[in-house]
């Protein structure tokens, strides 16, 4: 429940800030847009809660009992172990996100997230339940591989949720502040590039919490004027794809990635 309350508070606070200091000021359907994205988030929350929460906890307990994972090889050393656990799981999130762009089958589901033409803080919840299911299944393998504990995973997710809500937001942040922030974490201007309709920009800036994974891997890109970014995917700009039903149908539409990016 702690994680849920933090997520709700972060969403409400950032949504309020978007109303006061919006980057794009022509958003006339903010609440309708938010309602659709929050509906997707609710579906995913129920999916994870009913199907994966229990089994994830069992996998963590089994891994701890048998002392599986990289963290047990490194040794248990208090807060240092927790820090390494967060780093390793965030690295996994980077690799998983990149795979969603590189593997065509995974991209079909991930494009539900990228089809949002008016990205804001609620876009952080706009994922197809198919992608969430695949991610949750793979976590059952990654958790014992890393050796992460339940408390370490909970701390990671408590950090993750406000960060991704923030960097999806429509808050107008001064570039100087954004530049300082993205030396460590993913910031709005950094992640806005990732949601660009231009494919070379979409295929960049994959990091979730810590921005340095993109710098290390050579996938970091920046844009001088983020106000000029066009969000979304070219073949999913019609209103039918922005509805809840359209988002659920997006993985099954017959468009190639190049067509999605307007590069037919």
Listed by start position, the domains of the chain span 2-260
Instruction: Read off the tokens for 264.
Output: 């037919």
Measuring CA to CA, which residue among 121, 124, 128 is closest to residue 100? 128
- Using a cut of 0.85, tell me whether the model's pTM lies above it: yes
- Distance, CA of 188 to chain centre: 12
DSSP letter assigned to residue 78: T
Q: Compute the distance between CA of residue 11 and CA of residue 241 in angstroms, rounded to an integer.
A: 23
Mean pLDDT by 10 residues, the chain (264 residues): 89 97 92 96 92 95 94 82 96 98 97 97 97 97 96 96 98 95 97 96 98 98 93 92 96 71 39
3-state SS, residue 128: coil
Give the CA dihedral 232, 233, 234, 238, nearest 10 degrees: -70
In the prediction, which pLDDT does 26 show?
A: 85
3-state SS, residue 72: helix
By CB atoms closer than 10 A (0-12, 13-18, 19+), residue 186 is buried
- CB under 8 Å to 22, separation ≥6 — which residues? 170, 171, 172
In the prediction, which pLDDT does 74 show?
A: 82
DSSP letter assigned to residue 230: P
In the prediction, which pLDDT does 136 show?
A: 96
């Amino acid at each position: 429940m702690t994680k849920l309350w933090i997520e709700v508070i972060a969403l409400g606070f950032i949504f309020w800030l978007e109303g006061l200091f919006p980057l794009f000021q022509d958003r006339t359907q903010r609440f309708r847009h938010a309602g659709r994205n929050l509906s997707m988030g609710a579906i995913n929350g129920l999916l994870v809660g009913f199907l994966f929460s229990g089994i994830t906890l069992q996998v963590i307990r089994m891994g701890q009992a048998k002392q599986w994972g990289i963290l047990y090889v490194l040794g248990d050393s208090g807060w240092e172990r927790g820090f390494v656990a967060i780093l390793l799981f965030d690295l996994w999130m980077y690799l998983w996100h990149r795979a969603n762009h590189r593997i065509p089958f995974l991209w079909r589901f991930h494009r539900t997230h990228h089809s949002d033409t008016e990205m804001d803080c609620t876009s952080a919840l706009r994922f197809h339940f198919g992608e969430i299911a695949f991610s949750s299944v793979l976590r059952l393998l990654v958790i014992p591989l890393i050796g992460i504990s339940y408390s370490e995973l909970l701390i990671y997710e408590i950090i993750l949720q406000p960060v991704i809500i923030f960097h999806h937001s429509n808050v107008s942040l001064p570039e100087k502040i954004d530049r300082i922030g993205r030396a460590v974490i993913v910031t709005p201007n950094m992640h806005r590039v990732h949601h660009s309709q231009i494919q070379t920009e979409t295929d960049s800036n994959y990091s979730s919490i810590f921005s340095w994974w993109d710098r290390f891997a050579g996938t970091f890109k920046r844009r001088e004027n983020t106000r000029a970014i066009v969000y979304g995917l070219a073949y999913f700009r019609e209103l039918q794809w922005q509805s809840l039903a359209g988002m659920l149908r997006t993985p099954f539409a017959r468009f190639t990635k190049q067509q999605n990016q307007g590069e037919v």
